[in-house]
Amino acid sequence: MSSRPAPAAQLRAGVVGGLVGAVTSWLYELVVWVHLLHLTTVSGIAENTAVLSFGTAVRSLGAAALALGVAIHFLTAVIWGILFAFLWPALRARSIEATLAALFYGVFAWVVMHNVMLALFSPAPPSYTVYSVINGLMAHTFAFSVPLALVVKRLLR
C-alpha cells in the first residue's frame, strides 16, 4: 500500500474537514461574538462574510446577502480544507503533528484572507481592532484549522 493517499481520498478528506472547520469556526463566533461579547447577531456573522467580499451595498439584498455570506464561508473553508488535505501527507512524512501544523496553517489562512486578499480586492477591507485580530486568529486557528486537521488526519490514516 502506498504511503501517499489517493487524490480522491485527499479531496474527500479536504471537503469534509473544510466543512467541519466551517461549522466549528461559526460555532465559536456564535459563542464569543454573539453570546459573550454581544458584538453582532447570528445573521450578522453570515452577512459579514458577504460585506467583506462585496462591500456594504450587499446588505440591500437582505436574505440573499445572508445566503451569499454562507456560500462564501463554506466554499472558502472547503478550498482551505482541500489544500490542507493535499499538504498533510508531506507533513505526516516529516512527523509533524496535525494539531501543530493546524496552528500555523490557521494563522497563515487568516493572514492570507484578511491581510492580503481582502486588503487588495475587497471594497470593504476589514478594520482592525483588538477584538477582530484576536477573534480572527482564534477562529482560524483553534476553531477552524484544528478540527479541520484532525478530520483530515483521521480520514487519511
Which 3 state secondary structure label does DSSP give 40?
Answer: coil
- Let me know if residue 45 belongs to a domain: yes
- Let me know if residue 20 belongs to a domain: yes
- Let me know if residue 101 belongs to a domain: yes
- DSSP structure class, residue 156: T
- Let me know if residue 1 belongs to a domain: no
| Tens place of pLDDT per residue across the chain (157 aa) | 457 899 999 999 999 999 999 999 999 999 998 999 898 899 999 888 888 888 889 999 999 999 999 999 999 999 999 999 999 999 999 999 999 999 999 999 999 988 788 777 778 777 788 878 888 899 999 999 999 999 999 999 9
Residue 60 contacts residue 81 (beta carbons within 8 Å): no
- Let me know if residue 146 belongs to a domain: yes
- Let me know if residue 105 belongs to a domain: yes
Q: State which residues form the domain around 86.
A: 7-155
- Let me know if residue 22 belongs to a domain: yes
Distance between CA 48 and CA 31 in Å, rounded? 16
Q: How many domains does the chain have?
A: 1
- Let me know if residue 144 belongs to a domain: yes
- Distances 146 to 18, 70, 78, 101, 152 between C-alpha atoms, Å: 11, 21, 14, 8, 10
